[in-house]
Amino acid sequence: MPANRPSLPLNIVIVGASGDLARQKIAPALFALFCQGLLPERCQIIGFARSDYTDDSFRARLAETLTCRYRPGRNCRQLTQDFLARCFYCRGDYDARDAFLDVYQIMRRLEDGAGGGNRLFYMAVPPQVFQDVAQAIGGAGLVHCQGPRWSRVIVEKPFGKDRASSDRLVRDLRTIFTEEQTYRIDHYLGKEVIQNLLILRFANAVFEPLWNRRHIERVEIVWHEDIGMEGRGGYFDHYGIIRDVMQNHLLQILALTAMERPAKLDHAGAIRAAKVRLLRAVAPVRAGGLRLGQYGAARTSGRRRPGYLDEAQVAAGSLTPTYAAVRLRLRNPRWRGVPFDLEAGKGLHDRLTEIRIHFRRRPAAAFRFQTQPLPGNVLVIRVQPDEGIYLRVNNKVPGLAMALAPTMLDLRYADAFPRRPIPSAYECLLWEALEGDRSLFISEAELAAAWDIFTPALHALDRRPRRPLPYVFGSAGPQADAGG
């Protein structure tokens, strides 16, 4: 265990601990930090939800998803037992102050006699109960307001449905937790390749001089999933692909890709300020500029895949889009005239998240033997799966004749760092929250700027819904089916 491991006691309270997010993402991430010696010796995890678990049954549920990938084959069983011994469960209603007083009784086991401790609250619950939970936590006196001990809260997206509802959520939470105590999580910001964007751009002299309208023709940011609702039909039908993916994940990727160099590259406030300036430079989206689609049933790999309207908990005749594409324009000197094309969809032919930087083409006259314009260079930053960075360059084809062909220079993370496990996004973000580093979390100003881009179009679609273009499950989306 590292000698510099934090010494103050730490209570981590997972509100909504009976859900899949806690079991599949949060608990495994905390276990990974535990295996690396990054949690304090005096640390306990308290699950809170309405489900009827005991400490033992809660531990058994968590154990199903824990893996010792940082210490394979070495003391794994003992590590798992040691971690689970630090996990406890408290049942109660989310708006019940008395239930959180029961949580406090569990906290006292760790904190009494130690001068108090730090507290991290993770709201793994729907946003409509954030305020109830916060009020109950505050009413139970569990939030440290000053002194050497800290209290922090992590909240999951979606942060509202538009600018106004987002602002209300911010104001409501601020009655209990200050902005400095609030960590709004977008798990894409914890992905290794997204974190590497700052390094790629500003630690390599070859890229930054070319990172502008003179050399870049267009930028694509794509997010594809090859699955349907997977039990999330009720949630998704309420929000849709724009609110679920495009307004948050893709705009955060856009901000890191296109922002100006921050005043300080290692300062959370400077990075977030640069992102805000970029987002405020994006022209608001008009409803007519959105291409919307909705997947229909298909038979793929010998299996029938239901259409969106056949999914459980989806309203009959729903017009909620499962696919959206939009072209954004940035109103600043660096990017004026360069289109940024965003695309997000479910039920597509692949699972992929990529940033594609298309550089301007060289003229055909560059070489006498070349009659067509040379293919443009493309820098591909693959976020998932198979994390990597690829650069398409023009090369001479081996042989006596003079001919060119585009080829790929590739850096696959798995090949470049074979002995370095890639941390999950939740590992990175939980560690940053424990460290008090808010660089990878969304500020109030970022949230407002991002909603300002899409709110006008979303309101227009709410007033006058339009039927999304159909596309077949497992296809490339509506543009392929429609011949576009």
Write out the DSSP string of 443-473. -HHHHHHHHHHHHHHHHHHHHS--PPEEEET
Task: Give me the phi and psi of 264, to 5 degrees please.
Answer: -135, 125
| Alpha-carbon span 13 to 194, nearest angstrom | 28
Mean pLDDT estimate for the chain: 89
**CA–CA distance, 283 with 226 (Å, rounded to integer):** 30
pLDDT at 295: 96
Top-confidence residue, 6 or 323: 323
Instruction: Please give the Cα distance from 455 to 389 (Å, whole number).
Output: 33
**Coil vs helix vs strand at 149:** coil
Which pLDDT score, from 0 to 100, does residue 480 have? 53
Residue 434 has pLDDT above 60, yes or no: yes
Just list the catalytic residues.
249
Query: Rounded to 5 degrees, what are φ and ψ at 80?
Result: -65, -45
Specify whether the backbone of 168 is left (phi greater than 0), alpha (psi in -120 to 50) or beta: alpha
Q: Which two tokens stand for residue 449?
A: 């700027």
CA nearest 119: which of 110, 131, 132?
110
**Which pTM was predicted?**
0.90
**Given pLDDT bands bounded at 50, 70 and 90, which one contains residue 369?**
low
Q: Looking at residues 306-318, what average pLDDT do you find?
A: 94
Alpha helices in 182-293 (DSSP H): 192-202, 233-241, 251-258, 268-280
Please give the pLDDT value at position 74. 62
Q: Provide the 8-state DSSP code for 312.
A: T
Q: Is the pLDDT of residue 475 over 50?
A: yes
Give the pair of three-digit tokens for residue 469: 């273009």
Look at residue 20 and tell me whether its pLDDT is greater than 60: yes
pLDDT-above-90 percentage for the chain: 62
CB contact set of 339 (below 8 Å; sequence gap of 6+): 218, 219, 327, 328, 329
For residue 483, the model assigns a pLDDT of 39
Determine the pLDDT at residue 368: 65
Look at the block and give the residue holding tokens 């500020």. 443
Provide the pLDDT confidence category of residue 1 given band limits of 50, 70 and 90: very low
- Predicted confidence (pLDDT) per residue in 85-102, tens digit: 999 999 999 999 999 999
Phi, psi of 379 (to 5 degrees): -100, 120
Buried b (16+ CB within 10 A) or exposed e, 14-28: bbbbbbebbbebbbb
Q: What is the pLDDT of residue 191?
A: 86
pLDDT at 6 over 70: no
**What are 144's two structure tokens?**
């440290």
* For residues 370-387, average pLDDT: 83
Phi, psi of 100 (to 5 degrees): -75, -20
What's the pLDDT at 111?
Answer: 79
Distance set, CA 447 to CA 6, 158, 438, 441, 452 (Å): 31, 11, 14, 10, 9
- In this structure, of 134-148, 338-352, 424-438, the range with the lowest mean pLDDT score is 134-148
Percentage of residues in the chain having pLDDT higher than 70: 93
- In sign, the C-alpha dihedral spanning 85, 87, 89, 90 is positive
Tens-digit pLDDT profile for residues 221-248 = 999 999 999 888 888 999 999 999 999 9
Q: What stretch of H or E contains 98? A: helix 97-111
